[in-house]
Chains A and B, each alone.
Chain A
Amino acid sequence: MAKQNDLHFKTNVQLKSIIGKDLINDDNIAILELVKNSFDADAKQVKIKYFNLKQNDDKKVETFSDFTSRLIIQDDGIGMDITDIRDKWLNIAYSEKKSNKTQHKRRMAGAKGVGRFSCDRLGEYLNLYSKTANDDKYFKLSIDWKKFEIEDENKEIQSIPLKYETLTPKEFQDLGFIRFEHGVLLEIIKLRSTWAYSILDKNGNITNWDANKFVDLKKYLEKLINPNQAFESNDFGVFIDSPEFINENNSLNDNSKFIGKVENRIFEHLDFKTTSIETKITNNGNELYTELKDKGETIFWIREKNPFYPSITNSKATIYYLSPYAKSFFTKQTGIRSVDYGSIFLFINGFRVPPYGEFGNDWLGIDQRKAQGHSRYIGLRELVGQIEILDEENDFQIVSSREGIVKNDSFKTLTQSDNNNSFFYKAFRRLERYVVEGLNWDRAHEDEDLLKIHKKIVSGETKEEDLEYYEDTITKQKRVYSTIHNIISAKASEVIELYINENLITQKIDEEREVTEREFNQLIEDFSNKKIDSNTLNKILQKKALENADLEKQLKEFSKYTTNEATSKAILELQNYKETIEKQTKLIQELQNQLEELKRQKDSAEKSAITYKEKASKVEEDLTTEKEKNLYLLATRRTLSPDADGLIHTIKINNIEVRDGIENIIDDLTEDDYNVQDLIKKLGFLKICAERSLKMAEFATRADLKEDIEKREIDIVTYIEEYVTLYGETFSEKLKFTFSRNNSRLTKSLSVLNMSIILDNLISNAVKWGADKIHFEFEQNSDKKLSVFISDNGNGLSQRYLDNSDKIFELSVRDTPPTGLSGSGIGLYYTKNLLNEMNCDIEFVGNGTKLSGATFEIKFNTI
């Protein structure tokens, strides 16, 4: 096995320059880094003080003297003892933030542990003075950065010795400093940059000093300081001092004065001039609270579930839309044009992340999105604001001092514009919709000369209340109201509570109510003056219906969400208003009905006058037409009496059978395909049909035909008695009928037509056999059975059939009566047939059993 050897990194001295003056290439950033260190050390104040800028010996002395240029950055933080200096300050890349995110109740700002090398960027020499509250001495560490600037590949950074000493308060004071209890004082000597330029006249004499770099520094620091102070206690102050430049400072306008406390006042008063949206995550990261304000008034706020949990848990965004007027007010307040100030800044743990939001930086892709061709998008120039994040988990890592943060998933959830599915865009889109769809850009009046107005606003001549907009407030409010749900665009299931400015709702109602009332009163007046017609009322009703439908829709939209109390009250008013509209509609409808009734009466009076006239002239004509018509058939079915109607039905059915029966016989005969027996049967059937027709003709004159004659509920006993009495005479005048009812009674549903034919057959048979007396005897066998014995005094059945009397009911069997009046022989066959169809039967009882002649028994059954 090969021998294993150890290798390790070496740190060359030149590392100092790489992470020092070469890395931090901007003076302002360098100062900021040092300020951050102070902040992390729980300082309440950081003082930045310049000396010896106008006159110094920088170029005259090798090292430095009391007259060399100096920058002192002093804080009142907890300070460092010797251990801290040795183990932390001198420990490159060590950052307490990495192990300790919150210190002294602050979220730490510095992160990479290289901020201290900013001193190298700023000056050639550094004296660090530090004292903690526990020490009674000051530690002094002196660094000459030049000592690290040697090209020697073997020289390691830790091989350069750094001098340190301890000072008593007295000794410290003797150096010209004021004593402090705790904190750090950085004395940066022989400044590398020129902070102020002398302006010379043609004789080479200094006439003036250009102190713009201080103004820049101040403005830079200003923006770095979160205007809303993300930290919990607003107790951190940065002060710039430069005693040599008091005069220069005083000659500047208020916005540019650099001596004094650095403060970010930009957003302090913007609320009153702008439209803004604020969105923040509350309730331990679970809820998203968004509030939209317009010119100081809350339009809506909404509490909904945080859709970005857990990526974004402790954040807040404030976005201002600057209308043309608002831009002018911005300039008046800040001294710079909003576009120069920047757009949306990002603050992480209280400090800005450059270059986000600076002029020309479109880190959120807002202009890029607008350029992709949507005129209804807000551009970067119309926005200012910031996103603040308190990042304890280090989800948002700063790449370097000028490159923003790492584009990880958290960054995406914060900023992506796809589907507006990010913390920023969700709020921004609501603001945008409000501005574009609601306010229609809140445009200035067309006639206004914007440049002139701008000047007047900046000079203070024009006040907010003097402004003229393209549209009045009411118009804008109406549009906002009508699109409010679209603006909010929230999923009902996500919403915890919603507030919509109650005035927005009620104002609309109030205005509409007024108009409606007026219209309604006018309507009533017009109605009583008869100045209104049905058409107008109809139109009004239609309008009301639309209005009602619209209100219905609004209420439905509102009902989706849980709303705040004030909003709920306003919605209730909306509901009440809807009821008013409904009541009015009802009243108008009544008026309409009255009007129509009147119109109808009038019309009908007029009409009847005309009708009478027409009638008179038409009578003659009709008479002729009627005469003609009666000659022909009616096109439509005539309404017959129920009698005739029932009869016709039976006739039809009967005759269809006759017709087809005859057709069948003709067919059979034509085809020569028949046997006599079959033919007789068919003809017998036709005979019955013919008899039925005859019977119907009789019935037509005498019977009650309202009920069906083919199916009638009758008492058989009564029916037979009645029928025989009435019709019996038609056979022979001499014929006598007698009846023995024996208290019998049987109700049955049957065809009275067929029943009649059966009786006819039996009577005519008796007559043929010489009878002049027929006796009907009824015998009740049970409540469902009845026997009728029909007995005559004729010759009786011939001897040859007495033993097999059943045969007489067969087809073409006939017994020739002595009278010679022969029947066709089909009578009894069909009598039995018809009875069988009624579920009844007939049989021959015998000769001389009742009267002297034959006796038949008909057995009736009912169910």
Chain B
Amino acid sequence: MSVKKLLYIDDNKIDSQIENLRTKLKRQGYDLNETFIHLNDAFMMKNPENGKTILDKAKIQSFITDNYLNQNFDIVASDYDFKDENLDGFELLKWIKNESVSKKHKIRRAKFCLYSAEQDKVAKIFSTPEQVKKLIKLKIDDFIDRARIPDEISQILIAPQKSYYFKEHIINYLEKFGDKTFKSTYPKFKGMTLSEIAHEIDKDLPNGIEFQNSLVELTVAHLIELNNLSEE
């Protein structure tokens, strides 16, 4: 069964909803592998001079960096309102997205969603041109009503692919056989594991790009060759 990976961030537990989502996916033939970042754990908090306990953005960031940025996820979803003056879901997603895009972390290929129990309240926050600009720049994939998380997220996860991303496909495919070692045919990668090759491609390193080029050329050449055979 194909596995869909979800990372969600909330200050409340939403176990029932996740359970619900799992059921929905199961019916479509997918397993849900979810990861929950519960912004309630003591190590994510700090207590500055004024005495009020707030979320510690730096700690949260380093926690996410250490544990999740270099993982593949299908969806990264976050609650908007963390009940914290220091941090909200938008800021956190923005950071994850920018960080992962600029450093080419694997997580960047996930779909990013924000959810809220009170969407209309959140909408009001994005009421100035500056805010709208910020929002547009982030290019979030969806903004979901908290009450409909299982429906919406399952739809996103099982929606048919609208475009085909060669690079992503090739990386995922290589990762599938990540432990296997590459022997020859492409001398530059000799002795590397497929996972290491996937890494080269993922990071847009020169050899990775070159490899994709020759892969396409080889394949097409091979197809032509097959063509000729069938004609004979």
Contacts and interface: CB of A to CB of B under 8 A. Distances in A.
Contacts of A710: 12, 83
A839 B41 CA distance: 7
A80 B44 CA distance: 115
A658 B17 CA distance: 9
A863 B46 contact: yes
A839 B39 CA distance: 12
A368 interface: no
Contact of B120 (A637, A649, A685, A711): A637
A830 to B, nearest CB: 12
Contacts of B51: 713, 747
Contacts of A165: none
Contact of A863 (B47, B83, B84): B47
Nearest to A662: B16
Nearest to B20: A660
Given A653-B117, A685-B15, A747-B51, A660 B150 contact: yes
Contact of B53 (A648, A652, A657, A863): A863
B148 to A, nearest CB: 9
A656 B83 contact: no
Contacts of B42: 839, 861, 863
B211 to A, nearest CB: 46
B60 interface: no
Contact of A685 (B11, B16, B47): B16
B127 to A, nearest CB: 13
Contacts of A711: 11, 83-84
B121 A637 contact: yes
Contact of A713 (B11, B52, B147): B52
Contact of B52 (A657, A667, A749, A837): A749
B181 interface: no
Contacts of B120: 637
Contacts of A862: 47, 53
Nearest to A838: B40
Contact of B146 (A653, A708, A713, A861): A653
A664 B83 contact: no
B19 interface: yes
A793 B20 CA distance: 44
B23 interface: yes
Nearest to A661: B16
Contacts of B53: 713, 748-749, 862-863
Contacts of B81: 649
Interface in B113-138: 117-118, 120-121
B147 A656 contact: yes
Contacts of B41: 839
B121 A664 contact: no
Interface residues of A, number: 29
A663 interface: yes
B14 interface: yes
Interface string B46-71: 11000111000000000000000000
B117 A656 contact: yes
B147 A657 contact: no
A660 B148 CA distance: 10
Contacts of B83: 708, 710-711
Contacts of B157: none
A756 B41 CA distance: 20
Contacts of B40: 837-838
A568 to B, nearest CB: 46
Contact of A660 (B16, B117, B118, B121): B16
A755 to B, nearest CB: 14
B140 interface: no
Nearest to B51: A747
Contact of A656 (B17, B52, B121): B17
Contacts of A839: 41-42
A769 B128 CA distance: 59
A165 to B, nearest CB: 100
A661 B16 CA distance: 5
A396 B41 CA distance: 96
Given A710-B12, A839-B42, A664 B23 contact: yes
A74 to B, nearest CB: 92
A657 B47 contact: no
B19 A652 contact: no
A660 B20 CA distance: 6
A664 B47 contact: no
Contacts of A747: 51
B6 to A, nearest CB: 15
A660 B19 contact: yes
B45 interface: yes
Contacts of A682: 16
B146 A656 contact: yes
B85 to A, nearest CB: 11
Contacts of A749: 45, 52-53
Contacts of B15: 657, 661, 685
A713 B20 CA distance: 33
A654 to B, nearest CB: 9
Interface string B146-181: 110010000000000000000000000000000000
Contacts of A653: 12, 117, 146
A123 to B, nearest CB: 93
B77 to A, nearest CB: 14
B212 to A, nearest CB: 43
Residue picked from A648, A657, A710, most chain B C-beta under 10 Å: A657
Residue picked from B45, B117, B120, B146, most chain A C-beta under 10 Å: B117
A30 to B, nearest CB: 84
B17 A657 contact: yes
Contacts of A652: 117-118, 146-147
Interface in A516-554: none
Nearest to B21: A660
Interface string A618-660: 0000000000000000000100000000001100110011111
Nearest to B82: A711
Contacts of A667: 20, 23
Contact of B117 (A649, A661, A708, A713): A649
Nearest to A749: B53
Contact of B14 (A657, A663, A713, A861): A657
A710 B39 CA distance: 13
Interface string B6-33: 0000011111110110010000000000
Residue picked from B20, B46, B51, B81, most chain A C-beta under 10 Å: B20
Interface in A419-472: none
Contacts of B146: 652-653, 656
Nearest to B10: A653
A696 to B, nearest CB: 14
Interface string A789-817: 00000000000000000000000000000
Given A648-B118, A653-B12, A656-B146, 20 more contacts: A649-B118, A653-B117, A656-B17, A656-B147, A657-B14, A657-B16, A659-B147, A660-B150, A661-B16, A664-B23, A667-B20, A682-B16, A713-B52, A749-B52, A749-B53, A839-B41, A863-B42, A863-B45, A863-B46, A863-B53
Interface of A: 637, 648-649, 652-653, 656-661, 663-664, 667, 682, 685, 708, 710-711, 713, 747-749, 837-839, 861-863
13 contacts: A648-B118, A656-B14, A657-B15, A659-B147, A660-B16, A685-B16, A710-B12, A710-B83, A711-B83, A713-B51, A713-B52, A748-B53, A863-B46
Interface of B: 11-17, 19-20, 23, 40-42, 45-47, 51-53, 81, 83-84, 117-118, 120-121, 146-147, 150
4 closest Cβ pairs, A-B complex: A661-B16, A749-B53, A660-B16, A660-B20
